[in-house]
Amino acid sequence: MIVAYFWRIKPTAVPFAIIAMALDRFVLKRSANVGFFKSLGTGKGETFTPADANALRWGLVAQVHDLDSFDQSFVIKQWRKNCVDEFRAVLEPISSHGKWAGKEPFVASVKDWDGPVVAITRARIKWHQNFRFWNSVPPVTISLKSAPGLTAAIGIGEAPIGLQGTFSLWESSAAIKNFAYKGAAHQKAIADTATYNWYSEELFARFAVKDMRGSIA
């Protein structure tokens, strides 16, 4: 199963977060309970520039075998100790297209889901396309934030520049499909992607929300 955490930390815990982003990977790589994982910084998801970054919210997406054990693991407990609130979503993939860090990490296992849905988009932007990409983003983010059926959306990334994405929570699969396939701004962004070829890698995945606690709003 896939589990996503987002922590809103204390201002005094920012140094901890920066160090944990660098060191958690070594602990997680050694865990037999963890498959694919990514530690994430977050932002407002409005311009996808460094100005968007939120130093008080950090995240982790991981494929785990035993959720209860992972939820009480050293890494999670350390983040929990330094946060003021925690969001956790237990997810099962509905669909996934593309790669993340050269891997196809999510295998669809759910069909005919009509409950809440999480969408994760992630892209590696070619360096020479960053400014063109940033200029195209605002209309899409404005339309996303006002999309019918959207519960919450934040920017995510493994680095402040070049590795960008969104984590969004929707009321249903129908709501996200309407945004993806009927929204004019999103359709233009898709067309621009084909024209300018600004990604060296991209991924779009949808997940059934099997359990959720806390809020990312």
- Domain-by-domain residue ranges, the chain? 2-213
| Mean pLDDT over the full length of the chain | 83
What CATH class does 2-213 carry? Answer: alpha beta
pLDDT band for position 9 (50/70/90)? very high
As a whole number of angstroms, the distance between CA 115 and CA 118 comes to: 10
Can you tell me which residue has the tokens 């979503």? 89
pLDDT the model gives residue 161: 46
Average pLDDT value for residue range 70-84: 97
Task: Give pTM, 2 decimals.
Answer: 0.85
Going by C-alpha positions, the residue among 71, 52, 50 that lies closest to residue 60 is 71
Calculate helix-pair angle for 184-196, 130-145, nearest 10 degrees: 160
As a whole number of angstroms, the distance between CA 182 and CA 21 comes to: 37
pLDDT tens, position by position, 114-134: 899 999 988 776 555 555 555
